[in-house]
Amino acid sequence: MTTTERPLVLPGDPISPDLIPSSTSKPLRLGPGLRHVPPSDIVPVVAGQLITNHQKNSMWVEYNNNRLKSSAPAQTSTSPPYPPTPPMTLPHLSFESATKKTRPQLAPGALVYARVVLANKHMDPEIECVSQSTGKSDGLGELKGGMVFDVSLQFARRLLMAKSKEEGKVEVLELLGGEGLVFEIAVGRNGKVWVGGEDVKTIVVVGRALRETDEGGLGVEAQRKLVRRLAKGMK
């Protein structure tokens, strides 16, 4: 994704035509935080950073909120859990190859990596752990062990787009792997990151690296220094 500017915008601010993608081969796609006002005005409805993807002819506003996002770690308990999530429905058959006899048995408070399939103000959200198009889990399902860490929504999006050429690339996970740490993660668009590993110390180090990178807005070189410091502390 090619982005050259990330201007801050406020609700109702006019957006310069220079920042709007102008591809003639694809329709312009507006993401979260933007609204089309006929006939041709585009205005932000939230405060945040305006992000433009010229390759996909799309734009959106990057901002933090507490709304449910597609694909996110969530707990199945309806009592106040950690991390806090609203009550939601996870049908027993919303798992790969699940039947009435083979459906998974989730304990209260179990953590799952799920996709939001229904969310409106009149009903509890519904989530699923299977792709409707493939019938496969595609990495979704119960997350056992590990720990959950909070990051900003913007940082979560950057983690999910780590393989892109977007400015502000996050390399901290690759760097940690280069130091010999063995771990796995599940990144939710709700700002929750689950980290599993071979031992608690590894999990804590990975979570700390993610939090410090996010909160400090660290660039690639600063991420390298952080990882070297944390890896040294483990020896």
| pLDDT digits 0-9 by tens, 138-176 | 788 888 889 999 998 888 888 887 554 444 568 899 999
Q: Look at the block and give the residue holding tokens 């390759």.
A: 55
The pLDDT value given to residue 158: 83
Q: In one letter, which amino acid is 138?
A: D
Report the alpha-carbon distance of residue 175 to residue 222 in Å, rounded. 11
Are 49 and 79 in contact by the 8 Å Cβ rule? The answer is no
Are 176 and 233 in contact by the 8 Å Cβ rule? The answer is no
Share the mean pLDDT of the chain. 79
Q: Is the pTM of this model over 0.85?
A: no
∠ CA 226-3-40, rounded to 5°: 145
Are 133 and 126 in contact by the 8 Å Cβ rule? The answer is no
The pLDDT value given to residue 165: 47
The pLDDT value given to residue 79: 35
Domains along the chain?
8-62 (2.40.50.100), 64-144 (2.40.50.140), 149-234 (3.30.1370.10)
The pLDDT value given to residue 31: 81
Residue 115: its H or E element: strand 111-120
| Residues in the chain where the model's pLDDT stays below 50 | 1-4, 68, 75-84, 164-167
